Amino acid sequence: MSLTSSEENYIKAIFQLQVKDGMVSTNEVAAVLQTSAASVTDMLKKLKTKKLLVYEKYKGFKLNGEGRKLALMVLRKHRLWETFLVKILHFNWDEVHEVAEQLEHIQSQQLIDHLDDFLGNPAFDPHGDPIPDATGKMPFQSQMNLNKFPFQINGEVTAVGSQSPDILSLLEHKKITIGARIKVLQRFAFDNSFEIQINNKEQAHISAQLAEQIYVKKL
């Protein structure tokens, strides 16, 4: 079963939406891929024909086992390439997403196997997201959203929910990186913003919107 670049982009988007929401809607996918709802419907028919998802019109849809397996392979490629770009070619973590979006579509099992070995079979990408292994298994990470992280407990930043340059440059400005130490000092009910301490030094004020994108684990 080989997929076009376009098909790969769709199943990856659907996979990431269904992890959060269960069932996925046409408009959600259109928003993520920045395309029209009509184009999404076209692709849904095609992917249904290829037996990669469960779909009845007007009822929503989700990937089946085969679809999930293929989506995990695209995610694997994407995250391995991101790791390569940052670790080996010294890109900044906010510069890699667009290029990985292209590289993930290169068709060569040998390439991705060798790349994985060369990188030392990394478990997480530069944004802290888990990299599926060759069988599609994801390493477990006991991370939780910063919004739900308890007060006055030492945590470590493990992942960032979005890779938009806007968010990443804000995080860089606040010196919040993957691996940074973090402690929630105070929460403001008015706007659900937080005061946090970073690396036992700087303090920063985090909007609810931003906190939603930051994942943390207890130390």
Partner DNA sequence: ATCTTTTTTTAGATTTGTCTAAAATAAAAT
Partner DNA sequence: ATTTTATTTTAGACAAATCTAAAAAAAGAT
Residue type, 175: K
Rounded to a whole number of angstroms, the minimum distance from the CB of residue 48 to DNA is 10
Residues forming the site for a second copy (CB under 8 A)? 85, 88-91, 95, 98-99, 102-103, 106-108, 110-111, 114-115, 118
Site for Mn ion in 33-92 (CB under 5 A): 82
**Distance between start and end Cα atoms, the chain:** 43
107 binds, options Mn ion, a second copy, DNA, none, Cβ within 5 to 8 A by partner type: a second copy
Nearer to a second copy, 34 or 200 (CB): 34
| Residue 28 sits in the site that holds Mn ion (CB under 5 A) | no
Number of CB atoms found within 10 A of residue 76's CB: 21
Rounded to a whole number of angstroms, the minimum distance from the CB of residue 73 to a second copy is 16
Q: Which run of H or E residues covers position 12?
A: helix 5-21
d(CA 166, CA 213): 12
d(CA 73, CA 70): 5
Residues forming the site for DNA (CB under 7 A)? 4-7, 25-28, 35-46, 55, 57-60
